[in-house]
Amino acid sequence: MHGAAAPTLNRGHHKRRAGRTILPTIWFTIPALVVYLIIVIYPALSGAAYAFTDWSGVGEQLRFVGLENFRKVFTDAQSLAALRNAVALTIFIVFVQNGVGLVLALGVHSKIKSRNVLRTIFFAPAVVSPVVIAFLWKYLFDPRPEEGINAVLGFIGLDFLRQNWLGDPSIALWSIGIMIVWQLAGYSMVIFLAGLQGVPQELHEAASIDGAGGLRRFRSITLPLLAPAITICTLLSVIGGLKLFDQVFALTGGGPGYATETPSTVIYKEAFVYGNYGYSTAIALVLAVVVAAVALVQLKWLRGKEVEA
């Protein structure tokens, strides 16, 4: 590291004392690295190793069981349901949350007078704890006809749309999706807004003079320049969707049956309710591989579509 001084300094005028270098030493990064290795990397690696054992957390007894845990992950009805639910819910969130977020952003990014108030309103739920939000929606999803959303549907004459929102296995997962869209569409909106503010007005003006209509301008100018924002939004919702825990745990606990089980709720139950630590970490390893693979593929694919303004 010695002698690697920046070229901008005129060394002739300044004699450096022996042993002093212009570059910071590795000791600057050691404290952070140690904490990170102890809290994240070491437990994650040992988790990956425990996935091949029958560890139950009691004493030191554990046995290497090869791929047995993984065979169970891909044959057990509960974990299969969890993986299916996570994929379905993630796709729902990626499209609906970001779609609504984009519409809100386009609506707020205009000359309307209420834009600042609207932006505040739409974003506010994103700073509140998901568990707290879930208890609000637990009431809104009350199955009784005179409560929550069902009461509103009755009030506006749409009685036939009343549902057993969380009790009907074919609907419960989508109810959770609706709640997440309500909480996080404003988050997507904020990221899209930052992207829209980077779209030069001149491009719109030029295209408009050339006779391009609103829709055409949106498709040819706004959308391509929004690509970085789309990358961030979809990446965030994919990672968040696959790892989902808080909202499900507080709303349905994974039920009815396995209808809203997610990998994270199964990981929690297997470890902390049944003490199947080895099996629980096997599900976590599958989840980690899926999240990493999807995130990397998505990043590569979406990055290819980005253009410079």
Partner 1 sequence: MRTRYGLGSLLRELSMIVVAIIFLFPVYVLVSLSFKSAADINAGGLGLPQPVDTSNYPTAWESASIGAAFLNSLTITFGSILLLIVLGSLAAYYLARVSSNVSYGIYILFLVGIILPFQLALVPLYRMMYEAGLLGTYGSMIAFYTGLQLPFTVFLYTGFLRGVPREYGEAALVDGAGHMMSFVRVTFPMLRPITGTVIILNAVFIWNDFLTPLLYLSGSGKETLPVAIYAFVGQYTAEWGLVFASVILAAVPMLAVFLFLQRFVIKGFASGLKG
What residues from 191 to 230 belong to the interface with partner 1 (CB under 8 A)?
A: 191, 193-194, 201, 204-205, 208, 228
**Token pair for residue 32?**
């952070």
DSSP 3-state of 117: helix
Cα dihedral 142→146→152→155 (10° resolution): 160
| Long-range pairs, 31-39, Cβ under 8 A, ≥24 | none
Task: Give yes or no for a cis peptide into 130 (omega within 30° of 0).
Answer: no
| Residue 62: Cβ within 10 Å count | 16
Tell the smallest beta-carbon distance from residue 108 to partner 1 (Å). 7
List 194's β-bridge partners, or say none.
none
Residue numbers 174-193 binding partner 1 by CB under 8 A: 182, 187, 190-191, 193
Nearer to partner 1, 23 or 309 (CB): 23
Distance CA 238, CA 123 (A): 20
For position 239 contacting partner 1 by CB under 8 A, the verdict is: yes
User: Can residue 159 be called a binding residue for partner 1 (CB under 8 A)?
Assistant: no
Q: Does 137 bind partner 1 (CB under 8 A)?
A: yes
Using CA atoms, how far apart are residues 251 and 177, in angstroms rounded to an integer? 12
CA–CA dist 261, 65 (Å, integer): 26
Cα–Cα distance measured from residue 277 to residue 281, given in angstroms and rounded to the nearest whole number: 6
Binding range to partner 1, per CB under 8 A, among 30-38, 69-77, 84-92, 158-166: 30-38
Binders of partner 1 in range 279-308 (CB under 8 A): 280-281, 284-285, 287-288, 291-292, 295-296, 299
The residue from 167, 174, 243, 306 that contacts partner 1 (CB under 8 A) is 243
Site for partner 1 in 76-105 (CB under 8 A): 104
Binding status of residue 273 toward partner 1 by CB under 8 A:
no
Which residue stretch of 38-46, 61-69, 85-93, 162-170 sits at the interface with partner 1 (rule: CB under 8 A)?
38-46
Out of 3, 6, 170, 300, the only residue in the binding site for partner 1 (CB under 8 A) is 6
Q: Contact letters (x/-) for partner 1, 117-136, by CB under 8 A?
A: -xxxxxxx-xxxxxxx--xx
Which of 137/170 has CB closer to partner 1?
137
HSE of 145, CA atoms in CB hemisphere, 13 A: 8
Work out which of 148, 177, 241, 254 binds partner 1, going by CB under 8 A: 148
How many angstroms separate the first and last alpha carbons of the chain? 39
Which of these ranges, 82-90, 157-165, 231-239, 253-261, lies near partner 1 under the rule CB under 8 A? 231-239
Closest CA to 237 of 126, 137, 107: 126
Smallest distance from partner 1 to CB 79, Å: 13
Q: How many residues bind partner 1, per CB under 8 A?
A: 102
